[in-house]
Amino acid sequence: MALKSLDQLRPVRSFLLDLRNILLRAQGVILGEGPSISLSSRFEVSKGAPITIGDYTLVAFKTLITTRTGDGPPRPVVVGARCFVGGGSVILPGVTIGDECIVAAGAVVFEDVPPRSIVAGNPGRVLRTGIEVGHYGRLKGADEMSRRTYDGEDI
């Protein structure tokens, strides 16, 4: 039986994401309300040092978040609410990422990130502060910009 549309796989994807969240909670990851976590992201949690993901935060594909240190005790990691953690990024032990932040794809974050900031690079550094984002770290005005672009309006 051939699929007429990929939308037919939506219930399977939803089930797998719910199952993933249950398994993450069992490992010691503390999840807020409504997170979106890629199936290919990795979480390395040590006993006594949880990973906390805030409300309406998106963790993209092939992201690594770890509390394990090579030479010392494990340290907890906190990712705030309404954040976007880009694909292939790494968040190291002891890092706190404030609310409403964007972590660029491929960033390696080893220091705390202030709220409402964009961090990028290896090593991760703050590029901008005072940004405004909505759910899942989507920049304010992005919906209007997308609509105008796809409708062919002058920007």
Q: Is 21 helix (H, G, I), strand (E, B) or coil?
A: helix
The better pLDDT of the pair 89, 13 is held by 89
Whether residue 99 lies inside any domain: the answer is: yes
Q: Would the pLDDT of 155 be above 60?
A: no
Whether residue 155 lies inside any domain: the answer is: no
**How many domains is the chain built from?**
1
pTM recorded for the entire structure: 0.86
CATH number of the structural domain spanning residue 64: 2.160.10.10
What is d(CA 118, CA 62) in angstroms, rounded to the nearest whole number?
19
Whether residue 109 lies inside any domain: the answer is: yes
Q: Do 63 and 83 form a contact (C-beta atoms < 8 A)?
A: no
Question: pLDDT tens digits, residue range 4-38?
Answer: 877 788 888 889 889 999 999 999 999 999 999 99
- The predicted model gives 67-84 an average pLDDT of 93
Whether residue 134 lies inside any domain: the answer is: yes
Which has the closest alpha carbon to 62: 87, 33, 36? 87
pLDDT given for residue 51 in this prediction:
96
Domain of 21, in residue numbers: 13-150
pLDDT given for residue 24 in this prediction:
93
